[in-house]
Amino acid sequence: MSGSLFEHRMTLRSIGLALVAFVILGMADSGLGVAWPSMRDFMGRDLSELGLLLAALSAGYLISSSMFGRLERSLSLGRLLVIGASLLAASAIGLAVTVGWPMAVFATVVMGLGAGLIDVGMNAHAALEFDRGAINNLHAAYGVGATLGPILLTASLASNLAWRGGYAALAALQLGVAFAIWRGRARWAREPVADEETATAPGNPPKVAVMLLVFFIYTGVEVATGQWSFSLLTLDRGMGTGAAGVWVALYWGGLTTGRFIFGAVGERINASRVLDLSIASSLMGLALLWWDPAGLGVLGLPVTGVGFAAVFPTMVALTPARMGRVRSTRMIGYQLAAANLGAATIPLLLGLLAGSAGLGWLPAGLLVATAALGGLHLWLDSSRRGVSIRPA
């Protein structure tokens, strides 16, 4: 009894630290856009060059996330998480003290490398060791951090510390996370996978390709909805900037709140049913946004946000059941790399659609992409309806 109680406390501490790590990860990711105007004035760069920094961030993330499975074979998960948190702290220090463009680019690549290690490592560990409710809470914590990041950087700008004070604070927080992970690195150890599971774990190439495509499409649509909605509302539908900003915030708020709700629900709803309901809700929300009856299409944004809420965490949680524990860590690394590519590619493609056909067609593009996501989900689910997401 005492042993199981100790293990329960260890799990709770791991979950708590993972939540804190994801809050700070969200803060780091979301703060760059707020910091950029003052950074670019100091460095004498063009406003549009924020896109180059974001590309550098994505490049670092893709490298570390796609290599995570191989790295874990030679380094323990705990060590990789310490390295990831340390890289994030180093990147924040680099941005806080940067004296020019090359240093800022390098620090942003380092940020991507650290973010990839933390994101994949925490997600893989959660998929194997935590329940689905904890995974939803993990992604909700990222949303909280994504909300707090701009607030922290804005406060730093208002106090005449420019962007440097905000990134100095982020560095201190991230160093605290790195130290906490290092002290409790034994908690991140996992039991080895049995030989028979290694031999029988599924390795279906079509299934792998579809799983990666699902992450590519979903993340691209989630990001595109948040990025393009403001332009749709203000430039195509004539809404004021203040009101449009509120509705976009409600979309992200619905996404984060929905994850906390599904975190509370936990395992009480079958994972396949959660995805069925989530994708159906997001389709209804996007259809409403496109149809826009009596100017009420904006109500589709929070509906879509809540619909999207559980999709990503649930897909991550299903990975061990679909691929086997032995392949799940590497697969999650590839999935998150595909998600990162989707977040960069699909908003760009929809921007090209808006440029050629008009902003009014953006909801239609989002709706078609989400319908394709639903079809791919049904294909993946057809052979394993009702599967438990926690391997025996």
How much is the pLDDT for 54? 79
Mapped onto helix, strand or coil, the DSSP state of residue 221 is: helix
Q: Using alpha carbons, list the distances in angstroms from residue 186 to 36, 78, 316.
A: 39, 7, 23
Residue with tokens 């809404």: 239
Q: Kindly state the tokens that stand for 228.
A: 């393009």
Measure the CA–CA gap between 274 and 43, rounded to whole angstroms. Answer: 48
> CB-based contacts of 28: which residues, under 8 Å, 6+ apart?
88, 91, 92, 111, 115, 145, 149, 170, 174
Q: Kindly state the tokens that stand for 55.
A: 């590309």
Q: Which domains does the chain have, with CATH numbers?
A: 2-187 (1.20.1250.20), 203-381 (1.20.1250.20)
Confidence of residue 144 (pLDDT cuts 50, 70, 90): confident
* Helices marked H in 44-130: 50-74, 77-97, 101-129
How much is the pLDDT for 14? 77
How much is the pLDDT for 142? 84
Range among 38-52, 198-212, 306-320 rated most confident: 306-320
* Mean pLDDT over each residue of the chain, to the nearest integer: 83
pLDDT tens for each residue of 95-133: 999 999 999 999 999 999 999 999 888 888 888 877 788
Mapped onto helix, strand or coil, the DSSP state of residue 203 is: coil
How much is the pLDDT for 384? 56
The pTM assigned to this predicted structure is 0.79
pLDDT tens for each residue of 224-235: 888 788 888 888
pLDDT tens for each residue of 286-299: 999 999 998 899 99
Q: Report the number of secondary-structure helices (H) and strands (E) in the chain.
A: 14, 0
**Is 70 exceeded by the pLDDT of residue 37?**
yes
